[in-house]
Structures are given as C-alpha cells and as structure tokens.
C-alpha cells in the first residue's frame, strides 16, 4: 500500500510540475485532444438511458434554464420544465424540455435561441475566471470539462430551431435587430 501511495505522490508531483502544466495549458493540441476524449467518453454512455441522463444533466439543466429565464422575461409563460429523459417518437431520447403557454412572434426567437447565451457565460469564465485559477492538472481538466459542457449545450436543438422559425415575423424582426447591431459595431 505504501508503494502505491508513493507512486501516486510521484505521479502527482510530475503532472503538476511547471513543465507539464505549461505543456498542457499552452498547447492547443492537448486541449483539443482532451475535449475529444471527454466527448467520446460522453457518447459511450448513450447505450444506457440512465447513464446518458446522468452525464447530460448538468448541460441539460443549463440549456433548459436559459429557455426558462428568457421565456419568463419575455412573457412566453414557461411551463412543463423537465430534466428527466423521455423516449421520443423517432426512438431517440429527449433529455429535457421547457414548454411555453404564450409563444408569440416577438418572444419565439429569443426564447428558442436562449441557450446561445451560454456562450457569453463560457467567454466570461475564460476571460475573467481562468486567469485567477491556480493552475493544476486537476483544475485545468475540470475547467476544460466545464467549458465543454457549457459550449456544447449552448447549441440550440432541432426543436429549438423549429420553434424559432415557426414565426417568420419574429425571424425578420431579430434579423433586422442583429444587422443593425452588427453595423453599429462595425461603422
């Protein structure tokens, strides 16, 4: 047992050495490799509904919370908030959902595309939290895991796009707003 403890201490000392930490944190190859490994591990859970649910709950909670909050703010009247997976008609699983009772042209697009706001949270964490974090191998891996969860769940689902594009007036309204904002920033 003492040998195993000594081996663990040596590995911990090596993995947290300045050289190895610098290699991990400053090399995009290792960052991309870590993200791919994390995503592959996640997809291996998809053979079991409950393992899938367990792995996806944090991201699903963030995704659905964005729908809920934006819908609440814009009077879409959210209801039926769920994080429990259920089988869909096509044989897949729906990880979570938020229903709305008052979807209109002015709130459909922002309520449906609300998970995109997670990108701002991920950016904020990268810009202001990461520089203050003590760099260790465990902290770095947890940071990459958190950012992977945030960014992966910022992508609106197919159902989200269907809701948004079911209201052409809203799509036109928000396209005009986006173009005005972009042109104001550029000119």
* Cβ count near 9 (within 10 Å): 10
Query: For position 133, what pLDDT does the model report?
Result: 87
In sequence order, which residues have a C-beta less than 8 Å from that of residue 159 and are 6 or more positions away?
Answer: 97
Lowest mean pLDDT among 27-36, 99-108, 118-127, 157-166: 27-36
DSSP letters spanning 140-166: HHHHHHHHHHHHHTTSPPHHHHHHHHT
Tell me if 149 sits within 8 A of 58, measured CB to CB: yes
> Across-strand partners of 93?
87
Q: What is the DSSP letter of 126?
A: I
- 70 has pLDDT over 80: yes
pLDDT in tens, 76-107: 999 988 887 777 777 777 788 999 999 999 99
- 153 has pLDDT over 80: yes
| Mean pLDDT for the chain overall | 88
Q: Could you tell me the pLDDT band of residue 122, with boundaries at 50, 70 and 90?
A: very high
φ, ψ for residue 79 (rounded to 5)? Answer: -150, 170
Query: For position 10, what pLDDT does the model report?
Result: 86
Lowest mean pLDDT among 23-27, 91-95, 128-132, 156-160: 91-95
Strand ranges (E), the chain = 78-82, 86-87, 93-94, 97-100
Q: Could you tell me the pLDDT band of residue 124, with boundaries at 50, 70 and 90?
A: very high
Q: Is the pTM of this model over 0.85?
A: no
- Sketch the domain layout of the chain as residue ranges: 14-186
């Amino acid at each position: 047992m003492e040998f195993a403890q000594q081996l663990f201490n040596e590995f911990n000392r090596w993995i947290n050495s300045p050289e190895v930490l610098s290699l991990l944190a400053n090399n995009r190859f290792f960052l991309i490799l870590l993200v791919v490994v994390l995503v592959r591990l996640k997809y291996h859970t998809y053979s079991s509904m409950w393992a899938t649910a367990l792995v996806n709950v944090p991201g699903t909670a963030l995704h659905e919370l964005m729908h809920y909050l934006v819908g609440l703010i814009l009077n879409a009247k959210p209801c039926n908030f769920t994080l429990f997976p259920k089988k869909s008609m096509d044989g897949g699983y729906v990880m979570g959902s938020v229903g709305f009772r008052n979807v209109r042209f002015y709130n459909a697009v922002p309520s449906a595309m609300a998970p995109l706001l997670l990108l701002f949270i991920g950016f904020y964490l990268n810009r202001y939290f990461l520089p203050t974090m003590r760099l260790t191998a465990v902290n770095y891996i947890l940071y990459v895991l958190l950012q992977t969860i945030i960014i992966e769940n910022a992508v609106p689902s197919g159902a989200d796009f269907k809701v948004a594009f079911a209201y052409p007036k809203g799509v036109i309204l928000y396209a005009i707003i986006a173009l005005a904002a972009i042109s104001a920033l550029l000119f």
